[in-house]
Chain A
Amino acid sequence: MSDPPGIVCDHEQGCITCGDVAVPMRVVRVDRASWLAVCADEAGGLASVDVGLVDPVDAGDRVLVHAGTALQRLGEGEA
């Protein structure tokens, strides 16, 4: 089976998973039972993110995401 669609390791931009790189995302909705949230990046791409380390978060909050996990909450205007 091939890799899941949409997953590429971008050698021009660097690999956000392997490098010490995290991306700001906005929480779209939270499933409190599983601590998983649907988050959107700046370009509107959606991802499932573990928000167990930054709870409480709500839809509209901004978080810093690395390897599918939110590491910190961000205020408005913070990158």
Chain B
Amino acid sequence: MRYVDEYRDAALGQALAGDILATVEPGREYKVMEVCGGHTHSIYKYGIDDLLPANVELVHGPGCPVCVIPMGRVDDGIAIAHEPGVVFTCFGDMMRVPGSRGTLLEAKAAGADVRMVYSPLDALRIARQNPDREVVFFAIGFETTAPSTALTLKRAKAEGIGNFSCMCNHVTIVPPLRALLESPDLRLDGFIGPGHVCTVVGARPLEFIPADYDRPVVISGFEPLDILQSIRMILGQLRDGRCEVENQYRRVVPHEGNLRALEVMAEVFELRPHFEWRGLGFISQSALRLSPAYADLDAEVRFSVPGVRVADPKACQCGEVLKGVIKPWECKVFGTACTPEHAIGTCMVSPEGACAAYYNYGRFAREREVV
């Protein structure tokens, strides 16, 4: 396939793996975190960790927007979905995320009108087509997805579509990274930066990582050669004693990001004082809600939302997986009580989640090792 095959060339991949081997110091252990769930998925799908020297370990970060949604927010969504006349719309993965009393998919089976959409624009179209129904969009995602929700809300306001509203769960990438870097049980040497978040926000928001925490960051594309090259660049910085934000994904990510997207987000959203992350707890100013100018489109204003707080399941170790403290297979319930078909934790629900990605692609290699 044009534009893609170039970034999956096996010979180039082997050459990069050789470069990486030549860059590392024998005897030194390296831990590199890929922040973004999209990278986690590519790493397992293409077996990238198999190409790395044994002393380079990839740690999976908090960058799956489905994985980090706490159970209480799912319960709140289900409560709205059961309101009379409501059409509740969300992305596909969200439907399988367990709240404390089931999933949105189960709410649908129980009679709620829950529909999967591919974009917020689809949800708005459903609102236009069903003027006698209240259509709610359950918005999730990092800065990559927030502009799409913002543009849709601007459209709804401009067109005066009164039966559309949004339950906003958008999160921002910098606060959880800072929380991770402050965590005493974490040891990381560098970060593979989230390519598509940076398409929107640019490189500048990640500069605190080298400046405040002395860790290199390389903003990376999602093809296998992108990720290998980014790992080589991080290891190169460590070898040379450098510490900065480099941009491997220059073909897509401009240094300043997409200024128009940032303007639209600033108009439609404001920071929440705090937001609960699955496994990470409450993090200050880490999520977005609708700004006062858009309050009439805020589902949390329009409907009575229980706002319950539910503790994570005791058996679930998603928090430690998200912090990179344990690997997915080290979780007590991984692959036994918790599988993609019957997920306990959110890391198993979304295919971008570290546990599901590992379950789908990585466990076979691990089984070979164990046998």
Q: Of B3, B37, B122, B200, which contacts A68 at CB under 8 A?
A: B122
B92 contacts the other chain (Cβ, under 8 Å)? yes
> When the two chains form their complex, are residues B196 and A18 in contact, meaning their CB atoms are under 8 A apart?
no
A54-79 interface bits toward B, Cβ cutoff 8 Å, 1 = contact, 0 = none: 10000000001011110110110111
Contact B264 A20 (CB under 8 A): no
Q: B119: which of A10, A15, A19, A69 is its contact (CB, 8 Å)?
A: A69
Q: Which of B15-23, B48-56, B61-69, B178-186 contacts A (4 or more CB under 8 A)?
A: B61-69
A14–B41 contact, CB under 8 A?
yes
Within 8 A of B (CB), among A1-54: 1, 3-4, 7-15, 17-22, 24, 42, 47-48, 50, 52-54
Contact A18 B147 (CB under 8 A): no
Q: Is B107 an interface residue (CB 8 A)?
A: no
Q: Which of A3, A13, A17, A74 has the most CB of B within 10 A?
A: A17
Size of B's binding interface in residues, CB under 8 A: 60
Confirm or deny: B197 has a beta carbon within 8 angstroms of a beta carbon on chain A.
yes
B115: A residues at CB distance < 8 A: 1, 3-4
A18 touching B258, Cβ below 8 Å: no
**Given A18-B91, A20-B63, A72-B252 in contact, is the A66-B196 Cβ separation under 8 Å?**
yes
**Which residue of the partner chain B has the closest CB to A48?**
B121
The residues of B that contact A72 with a CB separation of less than 8 Å are 199, 252-254, 258
A18 to B352, CA, bound (A): 8
Stretch at the interface among B76-84, B138-146, B276-284, B301-309: B138-146
In the assembled complex, how far is the CB of residue B69 from the closest CB belonging to chain A, in whole angstroms? 10
Question: Which one, A13, A42, A48, A66, contacts B144 given CB within 8 A?
Answer: A66
A17 to B147, CA, bound (A): 13
Which residues between 114 and 163 of chain B lie within 8 Å of chain A, taking CB atoms?
Answer: 115-122, 140-142, 144-145, 147-148, 151-152
B118 touches A71 (CB 8 A): no
CB of B36 within 8 Å of the partner chain: yes
Are B145 and A66 touching (Cβ within 8 A)? yes
B4-43 interface mask toward A, CB cutoff 8 Å, 1 = contact, 0 = none?
1011000000000000000000000000000011100100
Bound together, the chains give a CA A46 to CA B251 distance in angstroms of 24
Near A by CB (< 8 A), chain B positions 179-213 give 194-197, 199-200
Query: Within 8 Å CB of B36, what residues of A?
Result: 19-20
Whether A19 touches B37, Cβ cut-off 8 Å, given contacts A67-B145, A71-B261, A72-B258, is yes
Question: In the bound complex, do residue A66 and residue B148 qualify as a contact, i.e. CB atoms below 8 Å apart?
Answer: yes
- Provide the bound-state CA to CA distance between A11 and B258, in Å: 29
Selected from B196, B200, B251, B350, the residue in CB contact (under 8 A) with A15 is B350
Q: Give Cα A18 to B149, complex, Å.
A: 13
Contacts of B63 in A (CB 8 A): 20
With A66-B144, A67-B120, A67-B148 already in contact, the answer to whether A42 and B38 are too (CB < 8 A) is no
- In whole angstroms, what is the CA distance A17 to B137 when docked? 14
Determine the distance from Cα of A58 to Cα of B335 in the docked complex, in whole angstroms: 49
A18 touches B141 (CB 8 A): yes
Question: Which residues of B are found within 8 Å of A1, using beta-carbon distances?
Answer: 113, 115
In the complex the two chains form, is A18's CB within 8 Å of B92's CB? yes
Shortest CB-to-CB span from B60 to chain A, Å, is 13
Asked if B235 is an interface residue, CB under 8 A from chain A, the answer is: no
Footprint of A on B, CB under 8 Å?
Answer: 1-4, 6-7, 36-38, 41, 45, 63-66, 91-94, 113, 115-122, 140-142, 144-145, 147-148, 151-152, 194-197, 199-200, 221-223, 251-254, 258, 260-261, 264, 340, 350-352, 356, 360
Q: Can you list 8 residue pairs at the A/B interface with Cβ under 8 Å? A: A10-B351, A15-B350, A18-B141, A18-B352, A42-B2, A50-B121, A53-B260, A68-B120
In order of increasing CB-CB distance, the 5 nearest A-B pairs are A68-B119, A9-B92, A19-B352, A69-B148, A79-B3
For the complex with contacts A53-B258, A64-B252, A68-B119, 9 further pairs of A-B residues with Cβ separation under 8 Å are: A4-B117, A7-B92, A17-B92, A18-B93, A53-B264, A69-B147, A69-B151, A74-B252, A79-B6
